[in-house]
C-alpha cells in the first residue's frame, strides 16, 4: 500500500476556494456571520500550523515533560473555554467542572494508552492525538450539557419555585434536569456511532488509511477510540452535573441560583 500523497502549498491553498460556496450561501440566506467564518478559518489555520510545528519537534525529541505539557495545555484551554461560555456558574460548580474534565480525561487516556494499546502514557505519538480527541469531545459534551441544564432551569423557573413552596427538595426538583442534560450531551456521540462505517468514515480511520495503515487496523483503532470518547464524555458530564448542581442549593434546601 502506497504512502500518503504530500500536498504542496498550491494544492493546499485550493481548499480555501470552497469557502466561496459557504459565503455565497450565507449571503443568500442573509446570515450575517461572514466575519465569524473568516476569523474562524484564520484562527484554525494558524493554530493548526503552530500545533504542527510543535508536534514535529516533540515527535523528533520525545520527552515526558513535552507530552505532559501538551496534554496539560489541552486540558487548561478546554476548561477555560467551558468556563468562559458559562459565566453563570458559581465557584464550586466551576471547580466541579474543572476536576471532572481533568480526571475523567486523564483516566480514560491513561487506560487507552497503557491497557488497550500497551504503550507508555508519555509516548507522544499516541498520547497527544488520542488525548486531543478525548478531551475535545468531553469539552463539547460538558458545554452542551451545561447549556441544556441552564436553559431547562430558566424555562421552568416558575414550576421550580412552586415545587419549592410545596416542600419538594432541591435534589428531587433539579435531578431530572441533570439527567436530561446528560442525555442531550450524549446524543451527538451516540448518533455518530450509529452511522459510523456505513454513512461516514471517521477522521481517525480516514487519516490512518491515507497514511498507509491497513484498513483492518484502522477499524480496530477507530472502534476503540469511539468507545473511549463515549465513556469520557459520559463520565465527565455526569460528574460535572452531579457534583455541580448540588452547589446551587444550601443546607436549608434553599436554591440560591435560578
Question: Between helices 91-110 and 64-84, what is the axis angle to 10°?
Answer: 140
- CA-based end-to-end distance of the chain: 59
- Assigned C-alpha cell, 121: 502514557
Q: If you write DSSP's letter for every residue of the chain in order, what string do you get?
A: ---PPPPPHHHHHGGGGGHHHHHHHHHHTT---HHHHHHHHHHHHHHHHHHHHHHHHHHHS--HHHHHHHHHHHHHHHHHHHHHT-TT--HHHHHHHHHHHHHHHHHHHHIIIIIII-S-TT-HHHHHHHHHHHHHHHHHHHHHHHHHHHHHHHHTHHHHHHHHHTT--HHHHHHHHHHHHHHHHHHHHHHHHHHBTTTB--HHHHHHHHTT--HHHHHHHHHHHHHHHHHHHHHHHHHHHHHHGGGGB-TTS-B---
Given this model, what pLDDT does residue 212 score? Answer: 60
Residue 76, all three cell numbers? 487548561
Beta bridge partners of 249: 255
Cell numbers describing residue 221:
483503532
Per-domain residue ranges for the chain?
1-61, 64-248
Q: Rounded to whole angstroms, how far apart are CA atoms 111 and 117?
A: 9
Cβ proximity of 58 and 66 under 8 Å: yes
- pLDDT digits 0-9 by tens, 136-162: 999 999 999 999 999 998 888 888 888
Task: Give the C-alpha distances (Å, rounded to integers) separating 122 from 107, 127, 128, 170.
Answer: 14, 7, 9, 44
C-alpha cell at position 41: 478559518
Q: What is the pLDDT of residues 157-194, one digit of tens each?
A: 888 888 878 888 888 888 999 999 999 999 988 888 88
Model's pTM, two decimal places? 0.84
Q: What is the pLDDT of residue 202?
A: 62
Beta bridge partners of 200: 196
Residues of the chain with pLDDT under 70: 1-5, 197-213, 252-254, 256-258
Task: Return all residues near 135 (Cβ < 8 A) that are at least 6 apart.
Answer: 71, 74, 75, 78, 101, 105, 109, 232
Q: How far apart are CA 140 and CA 85, in angstroms?
A: 11
Amino acid at each position: 500500500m502506497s504512502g500518503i500523497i504530500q500536498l504542496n502549498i498550491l494544492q493546499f491553498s485550493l481548499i480555501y476556494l470552497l469557502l466561496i460556496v459557504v459565503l455565497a450561501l450565507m449571503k443568500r440566506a442573509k446570515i450575517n456571520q461572514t466575519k465569524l467564518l473568516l476569523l474562524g478559518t484564520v484562527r484554525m489555520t494558524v493554530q493548526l500550523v503552530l500545533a504542527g510545528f510543535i508536534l514535529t519537534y516533540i515527535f523528533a525529541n520525545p520527552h515526558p515533560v513535552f507530552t505532559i505539557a501538551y496534554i496539560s495545555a489541552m486540558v487548561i484551554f478546554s476548561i477555560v473555554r467551558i468556563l468562559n461560555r458559562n459565566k453563570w456558574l458559581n465557584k464550586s460548580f466551576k471547580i466541579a467542572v474543572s476536576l471532572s474534565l481533568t480526571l475523567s480525561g486523564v483516566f480514560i487516556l491513561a487506560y487507552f494508552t497503557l491497557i488497550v494499546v500497551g504503550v507508555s502514557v508519555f509516548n507522544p505519538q499516541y498520547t497527544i492525538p488520542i488525548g486531543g480527541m478525548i478531551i475535545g469531545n468531553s469539552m463539547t459534551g460538558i458545554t452542551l450539557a451545561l447549556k441544556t441544564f441552564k436553559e431547562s432551569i430558566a424555562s421552568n423557573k416558575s414550576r421550580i419555585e412552586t415545587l419549592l413552596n410545596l416542600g419538594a427538595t432541591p435534589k428531587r426538583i433539579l435531578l431530572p434536569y441533570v439527567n436530561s442534560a446528560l442525555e442531550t450531551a450524549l446524543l451527538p456521540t451516540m448518533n455518530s456511532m450509529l452511522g459510523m462505517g456505513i454513512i461516514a468514515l471517521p477522521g481517525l480511520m480516514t487519516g490512518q488509511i491515507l497514511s498507509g495503515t491497513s484498513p483492518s487496523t484502522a477499524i480496530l483503532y477507530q472502534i476503540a477510540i469511539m468507545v473511549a470518547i463515549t465513556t469520557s464524555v459520559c463520565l465527565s458530564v455526569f460528574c460535572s452535573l452531579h457534583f455541580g448542581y448540588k452547589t446551587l442549593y444550601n443546607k436549608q434546601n434553599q436554591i440560591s441560583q435560578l
